[in-house]
Amino acid sequence: MQALCTSFKALGDPVRLRLFSLLGQYDELCVCHLIDALQLPQSTISRHLGVLRHADLVSTHREGKWMYYQLHGDISQAFLEIIQQQNEPQTKQDAKELQTILDRI
């Protein structure tokens, strides 16, 4: 029960929901791309990703100086389905912005 409460708390912030939604669309993403897509400071993005990681919703690995994030666990997939069903304009805009960034690479 505690793990589920922690997951709900972690997803109870709009920025974390946006990050979670973007991570669900790709196998993994560099924190640098998430910073550019959401146009928020690195410290803000990293803090929110840390909350998601602490809730065991995302996992990480490091390549050089960059951290890469991906969804982790079955519960993450269940939450992602719920989020995607909501059809939120903000998550669509975030996805479009991220795709533009990734297309430049």
Separation of alpha carbons 72 and 4, rounded Å: 14
In this structure, are residues 51 and 16 in contact, taking their beta carbons and an 8 Å threshold?
A: yes
Q: Average pLDDT of each block of 10 consecutive residues along the chain (105 residues)? A: 88 95 94 96 97 96 94 86 86 93 90
In this structure, are residues 21 and 84 in contact, taking their beta carbons and an 8 Å threshold?
A: yes
pLDDT of residue 75: 84
pTM for the complete prediction? 0.90
Domains, the chain: 2-75 (1.10.10.10)
